[in-house]
Amino acid sequence: MSAAGEIALKSRAGAPGALLCQHRLPADHEFGQKTIAVRLADSDGQRSLASILVNRMYAWRGYGANHKLSSNRNRVTFTACADDAVIGTLSLGVDGPDGLAADETFKDELDRFRAIPGASLCELTKFACDPSTKSQPALAALFHVIFIYGTQRYDCTDLFIEVHPRHVRFYDAMLGFQKVGAPRLNPAVTWWPADVPVQLMWLKVSEIRRLIDAHAGGKSAGGRSLYPHFFSHQEEQGIWARIAALSSKRQDKGAPKRPDGGFSRTAGFRLQTAAA
């Protein structure tokens, strides 16, 4: 889409989406803007803006340019915005009767997790980030807000991610994922080139909580880890309260209650990405 087309679409997008977090980035970050907003893309116009970014980044990677972002009770899209521009997006989907997108290639692996008593899966899909505005604090804000939202709304236990094999080390270092099995080809998958393998990775969600508690707010985890850039406990509490108030306003009864005044220790995601 042309720049003029994007501007025209922004003018028709309507309300910018429910605000979940507004975060001032550190003064020494490499991103030109000082503040980003993480929002729900809860309108057709906002999902269209997110789709523009997804299709631009996926086409650049050779993954096609006809991706659509759907919305239903089991799937919600998030955006990271600077001013009026969407600089990052990903969608959260919950396992259910229709399964997960990863079932197209890794159903046998996911079924092994589903067979574990108490296990519950969900997924993050359609991750895209504008490389001209990418920074660790901005990425960390987006991931952490979605973790908080997923913790409050759902009761999942395992996080999965499908990536190009060359991105395995990135997601290992960034968030602590581990490989599950070997890379696979699946010509039937429309969002991925038929001749390029995809790797399934996994992270226990209780480990995400442990890493947040250990490193968020600037406590060093070393290397490329995002966890030192996650919100402090006080900031996390404020975001939790904002999301809870939003759910209450929308008369959303689907959020699990907060146990003992603390955070739920279970929430699971899977990430399908063209970024990194």
Gyration radius of the chain's alpha carbons: 18
In this predicted model, what pLDDT tens digit does every residue of 123-166 receive, in sequence order? 888 899 988 776 888 899 999 999 999 888 888 899 898 888 98
Average pLDDT value for residue range 219-228: 79
Return the structure tokens found at 50.
């997110």
Residue with the larger pLDDT of the pair 153 and 29: 153
Element of type H or E holding 124: strand 121-129
Return the structure tokens found at 11.
């003018």
pLDDT above 80 (res 274): no
**C-alpha span between 198 and 185 (Å, rounded):** 7
Return the structure tokens found at 155.
């009761």
Average pLDDT value for residue range 43-63: 88
pTM of the model: 0.83
pLDDT above 70 (res 98): yes
The 3-class SS string of 106-121 reads: HHHHHHHHHCCCCCCE
Domain ranges of the chain: 3-273
**C-alpha span between 123 and 134 (Å, rounded):** 22
Residue 144: helix, strand or coil by DSSP?
Answer: helix
**C-alpha span between 137 and 230 (Å, rounded):** 7
CATH of 3-273, picked from 3.40.30.10, 3.30.110.40, 3.40.630.30, 3.30.200.20, is: 3.40.630.30
Burial (CB count <10 Å: 0-12, 13-18, 19+), residue 188: exposed
Nearest Cα residue to 162 out of 271, 276, 62, 275: 271
pLDDT above 90 (res 54): yes
Element of type H or E holding 270: strand 270-273
pLDDT of 31 reads 53
